[in-house]
Structure formats: C-alpha cells, structure tokens
Amino acid sequence: MLAIEAEMNVKATHNVLGCLLSDVREKIAKRGHCITFHSCDHNLEVEQLARCRKVDYRIKGYRPPQSRLTPELTDEKLCFRNFEWLASSARSLGIRMPRLENGLVKIPIIFDDFDLYKGRLTYEEWEQRAIGIIEQHQFVAFRLHDCYVPYWLLSYRSFLEKIRGLGTLKTLNEVANEII
C-alpha cells in the first residue's frame, strides 16, 4: 500500500492503533502521510483518548473503530485531549460534508471496504459503487482497511488512477486545516 502510494505520489491518512504506532510510524511518516489514532487498542470498553495521548500528544485526528461514537468521544473531551478533528461514518456523524462544530472538525467517511471484505460485493462491483459515489458528491472521504488488503491491493494502483481524475486527493489533516 505504501509503495503504491509513494510510486503515485499520493499522500493518504493512515489510521493507526496507538499500541502499534511505534512499529509503523517511521514507515508512514517518512513518506509524508498523515497519521491519526484509530483508538489505542480497539477496546471500546476502556478509555482510549488519554491512552492515545500518552503515546503521542501531537497527532491531530481521531478515527473511532467501527465508527462507534462512545460516550468518551464528545467534542469537549476530544478538544480537551488536543484533537483537532474526528472522522467517522457519515451516518454516525449525521453529516455529508466536513464542518467545524464546538471547536472540532468533523469529517464524514462516506464509504469503506467492509462490504468487499464481507463478500457482499465483488471488487469490480465495489469499485463501480465507489466511483459512482465519488462522482455524485462534492466531498468524499473513504476508508480502506490494511487488514482487508488482500481484497483490493492488486487493484489499488488502478483505483487511485481512476479517482485521481475525479478530484483532488487530500489527507484528513489537509481537509481539517481548510475547514479551520
């Protein structure tokens, strides 16, 4: 994934578990990508924000696992922990466009690769749907899971080439900075 993004000069946002950050940070950061927390360890039963901040206080964004907005993920608590933006599914946020709310930029994720992973769509059907969504909307943020890479990696270069022609690719830090 990183090699293809580097080859195509694409900067992406990589959502990383805090417990894995030290293992992957250098590989991601040296290529100029945006890094955000995807919780500390996916355990939604325990507080995640403070644990993430013990790992790194500078990371600007947070992406909750499964787009589950737990009671911990209030605007006030995210801002208190020095997060500038929150990315979650459009459904969970109730918005289709990024916006600043209570000092926090909220970025809706419009689609991901879960249906591909679950076998509900073939890759070709998924890509066609993804491109259709991108063509129909002014803004689209989407999520690809590295753990689902076997379902899309062979077509990733081609997919990036196709969507690059439909708009401007940006990291979520860039999107948040524009909104702020």
Burial 90-114 (b: 16+ CB within 10 A, else e): bebbeeeebeeeeebbbbbbbbbbe
What DSSP state is assigned to residue 103?
A: T
pLDDT for 30-65, tens place per residue?
999 999 999 999 998 899 999 999 999 999 999 999
The CATH-assigned architecture of domain 2-179 is Alpha-Beta Barrel (3.20)
Predicted confidence at residue 135, as pLDDT, reads: 97
pLDDT for 90-147, tens place per residue?
999 999 999 999 999 999 999 999 999 999 999 999 999 999 999 999 999 999 999 9
